[in-house]
Structure 1
Amino acid sequence: MIFLFLLPLILTIFTILFKYIWIPLRIQLHFRQQGIRGPSYRPIFGNTAGIRRRMIAEVESSHAASFKHEGVVERVMPHYYNWSKVYGDPFLYWFGSQVMLAVSDPDMIKEILVSKSGSFGKIRFNPALKALFGEGLVGLEGEKWIVHRRITTQAFNMERVKEWVPEIVDSTLNMMNKWDANIEARRNKSEFEFDVHKEFHQLSADIISRTAFGSNFSEGKQIFELQEQQVALVLQALRNVYVPGLRFIPTKRNKTMWKLDKETTELVTKLIKKNKKTKLNSNTLLATLISPSKKDDMLDLKEIVDECKTFYFAGKETTANLLTWAFLLLGLHQEWQNKAREEVDRVCGQHAFPCSENLADLKIITMILNETLRLYPPAVMMMRQASENVKLAGRLDVPAGTQLFLAMTAVHHDVRIWGEDANVFNPMRFLEPRNHLASFFPFGLGPRVCVGQNLAIVEAKIALAMIVGRYSFVVSPSYVHAPMQSLTLQPQYGAQMIFSRRN
């Protein structure tokens, strides 16, 4: 009788010991026998939940003494920076009982991202991320992903994006006219200072609203504001080990996240229904989602809502941050600002704007944007998971379930790949094609490469060309250089710059 009473307790204890002690220690030994080391596993909570949070808090409470690029890796992925110096590359670490293999070797990264064997897949979404992306393209796998990818690829092909150029020009012109009004209001002052990070977020929000959803920033403003509030809560959740079932408990944070998600879903649903009734422009992403070219690709309302959430967030964040870092770099490096301006004057004329026909001629601007993406990529890393036991690089046995931390920012700053000037802003390095596919991958590689990269690059090229053609600018003395990993790489304290109108 006593044995029957104790049996469930014994089984529970055995399960905990097996899952949280025996398996992780066995995996740790497996990698150590192959020469892969890292900080030792600590049962139940691993070693990064607390240590990683502390490292992030330390770097976010400090800031660089000057605007240099050497410290980017240390600031945005401090755990990788510190442990890679001690244990080399690759190295092993833990997030709770989940094993993580940190990788910065381009050959391994290429094999992981470009592999068609199906050995490496997306990791399962932390449920907190669903508050931002729903079950859209970013987190899907299998047949559903194939359908969603086919639809969105059609929406963002280059020919379609070129049709949006007038909209992008118009949005940028509206922003610059607002800036000119600020200059005129100052009368005796020919220059003005402001936070370009905020300005570019509004610009990108307007462009993604107009091109992808047939609306405008004012119509989508509330959606963007709700998502910004959600980001702060999601980031808190991601920095802690996920406890199964915790998301269903009505904590203060969970209740706030539920409320924000409900309001966002309602607003996006209203936008979709409105556009269905008004028969929106067929060139938009939303039109493609509602009426795909293949009948077999029909999405239900929830799927459309989730894709809209994804592109509202990702479409705004990626380009806004790219433009922010590009302008900071050009404000710091006046010689490249002048080169960009000379190219714009030559290609577009002093009083003309970029168009779909001359975008390819903006070669210097393209090199500047690539160098910006190298030094300050929107996503600082990528994650994948081994879906089966696999031999990586022909020598490393990786057990199924191992998560792979692909240290993109570290690769982009690696002197072994880019030379001794790896931490120097030098767009000329992109004059010739890069030698290795996985030495530069700001939008990912392989079948899951970012579907919206065409729009992001075209949008950034147009905005940069138009602004550099009308204004000269420098970094403000009040700017504090503190790159920070939120869900994307952004300046922790904004990006204060001083602009003056060209004669």
Structure 2
Amino acid sequence: MEKQGIRGPPYKFLHGNNKEVELMMREAIAKPMDLSHDTFSKVQPYIYTWTKIYGDTFLSWVGPKPQLFIREPELIKEILNNKSWDYRKPDRNPIIEKLLGDGLASTNIQKKWAFHRKMANKAFNAECLKDMFSEMVKSTEEMLGRWRESDGREIEISSELRVLTQDIISRTAFGSNYLEGQELFNLFSKMAILVSSNVRKITFPGSGFFQSRDEVEAKILDTEIMRLMMKMIDSRKEKANNGESVGYGNDFFGMLLKSGHEIEDEAKLSLQDILDECKTFYFAGHETTFGLISWIIILLAMYPEWQDRARKEVTEVFGSSIPTMDGIGRLKIVNMIINETLRLYPSVTVLSRQLKKEVRLGKLTIPSGTEVVVPALALHYDSQQWGKDVHLFKPERFSQGITNAAKSPIAFLPFGFGPRMCVGLNFAILESKLAVSMILQRYSLLLSPSYHHAPVLMVTTRPQHGAPIIINPL
């Protein structure tokens, strides 16, 4: 790589660059920052620092594993749009494996991915989203009902939104609710903490014979998660067999169970496949969206002029009535605010692929086994793409749509790009627009004096110290 003009931080024996990354991350999260959105250096200080020193393309090391960071939009497009599967999802450590399993988001088996993707597309198509919408409304109404006791007082908005998004994914995808799934969500939260602290864990040949304390704890958590999921599966099957429901149901969970019993296109889901997809959607289905809505509310509280503009638009479209799905599609200002929030505070900050063979990318020849990393957050903060005001909250960037917001559409990657783009994109945006609309119909939002601005990366980007917001009824 050096002969091809690629530089990077020097490799250190065994650890690679892990110790440098850990030190920079500890320093970054040690104290809050001011109320600005220049967060790249805080959320990912190592990528920020090394980009400044070595340029848009550089090589670093996770132990003995090389990582090639690439920020050139045309090369990124080629990486993420690749249909030959030369660029695969990277090998994962045992704890991440237990969090997501080998489901749609992580599998490297092309035939399996194609079948799972087809099923997921069916579960989240326009007609299914219409059915889900009424459940989203019910969940949001329940949350706002709890808020009546806090009128004019401070609430911790991110905690409330975590419950909301968990309830929505439970209702819409699994025919349940937050209270029934609460034990599962608590287990996933504990697992996510373990993942966050082990994301750069080094593995060597033979290390699988010795389990760390975190790996032992992850195994215990995974066993309990599997037990609860099997209980859900058995309950749904029993209702179908007793005639209490029509088949396994039409939600995502029902489609999984149906595909486990009926052969379609010579493909069939195993029990492990079903459990892995449940893991993926239970975790990813709420973790990313709760963070997104939290940041939207924080930004609306920071910028009352945009809060007023968004509320005016919501009022013009819905009045005081419950939002409708058709009306949600007409919310242009709210959509601009959501996109700018996704630019500044994306839930997923990097997209990684691992090469199964040597490839030619642009002028580079990249060896087999190299992990190619697309630093999405770095792209979102690239002044060459977005202008010198890249650190400012300016929703008007998106007034002409996503494709015209930056010089290259590839500079905006909150949901990825290409064949493996997030299948839940429309679900997440619909959920966010609905929640924001119903909150704005009822409350004005003010940032609490106790709020400390400290975005942190813990699997996804979230407010490190929560989001205390003062809500005043309208």
TM over 0.5: yes
Contact 2:89–2:353 at 8 Å: present in 1 too? yes
The alpha-carbon distance between structure 1 residues 251 and 402, as it changes in their structure 2 partners (threshold 3 A), is closer
Give, in whole Å, the separation in 2 of the partners of 1:424 and 1:294: 52
Alignment of 1:224 onto 2:202: no
2:328 is the counterpart of 1:352: no
Alignment of 1:430-469 (within 5 A): 430-433=398-401, 434-435=403-404, 436-469=408-441
Worse-superposed segment, 115-124 or 136-145: 115-124
Amino acid at match of 2:198: A
After the TM superposition, list the runs of 4 or more consecutive aligned residues in structure 1 that deviate by more than 6 angstroms.
none
Show the counterpart of 1:115: 82
**Considering only aligned residues, what root-mean-square deviation do their CA atoms show, in Å?**
1.5
CA contact (8 A) 2:89 2:352 kept: yes
Partner SS, residue 22 of structure 2? helix
How far apart are the structure 1 equivalents of 2:71 and 2:204?
Answer: 29
Q: Distance in 1 between matches of 2:317 and 2:431?
A: 17
In 2, the alpha carbon distance for the partners of 1:258 and 1:119 equals 31
2:395 pairs with 1:427: yes
Give the whole-Å Cα distance in 2 for the aligned partners of 1:164 and 1:78. 39
Q: Structure 2: how far apart are the matches of 1:356 and 1:236?
A: 40
Is the contact between residue 49 and residue 96 of structure 1 (CA under 8 Å) also seen in structure 2?
yes
Find the aligned partners of 2:251 and 2:300 in 1 and give their Cα distance. 32
**Contact (CA 8 Å) 1:195, 1:497: kept in 2 or not?**
yes
Alpha-carbon contact 2:95-2:215 (below 8 Å) kept: no
The Cα shift of 1:365 comes to 0.9
Q: Under a length normalisation based on structure 1, what TM-score does the superposition of the two structures give?
A: 0.89
Which protein is bigger by CA-based radius of gyration? 1
- Say which of 34, 37, 55 aligns to 1:88: 55
Q: Which amino acid aligns with 1:312?
A: Y
Farther off after superposition, 296-305 or 331-340: 296-305
Identity of paired residues, percent?
40
Q: Deviations for 1:28-77, whole angstroms, at most 9, x for unmatched residues?
A: xxx1111111112233321x22111111111111220x21011x111111
Partner of 1:304: 274
**Counterparts of residues 5-404 of structure 1 (less than 5 Å):** 31-46=1-16, 48-64=17-33, 66-70=34-38, 72-141=39-108, 142-183=110-151, 191-279=152-240, 282-292=249-259, 295=264, 296-349=266-319, 351-393=320-362, 395-404=363-372
| Alpha carbons 2:60, 2:67 under 8 Å: kept | yes
Amino acid paired to 2:389: D
In structure 2, C-alpha distance between the alignment counterparts of 1:324 and 1:317, rounded to whole Å:
11
AA matched with 1:320: F
Equivalent pair of 1:110/1:437 in contact (CA under 8 Å): no
The TM-score, its normalising length taken from structure 2, stands at 0.94
* Structure 1: gaps spanning 5 or more residues: 1-30, 184-190
- Give the CA deviation at 1:158: 2.5
What residue number does 1:9 align with?
Answer: none
Aligned-partner SS, 2:11:
coil
Q: Secondary structure at the match of 2:68?
A: strand
The answer on whether the counterparts of 1:151 and 1:297 sit within 8 Å (CA) in structure 2 is no
Question: Aligned to 2:13, what secondary structure does the other structure show?
Answer: coil
Taking a change above 3 Å as real, the CA distance of residues 244 and 354 of structure 1, as seen in their structure-2 partners, is: farther
In 2, Cα distance between equivalents of 1:41 and 1:252: 27
CA distance in 1 between counterparts of 2:364 and 2:239 reads 56
CA distance in 2, matches of 1:246, 1:440: 38
Report how far residue 174 of structure 1 moved: 0.5
Q: Which amino acid aligns with 1:205?
A: Q
Question: Residue 164 of structure 1: SS of its match in structure 2?
Answer: helix
Number of residue pairs aligned between Structure 1 and Structure 2: 460
Q: Which amino acid aligns with 2:323?
A: P
CA shift, 1:152, in A, is: 1.2
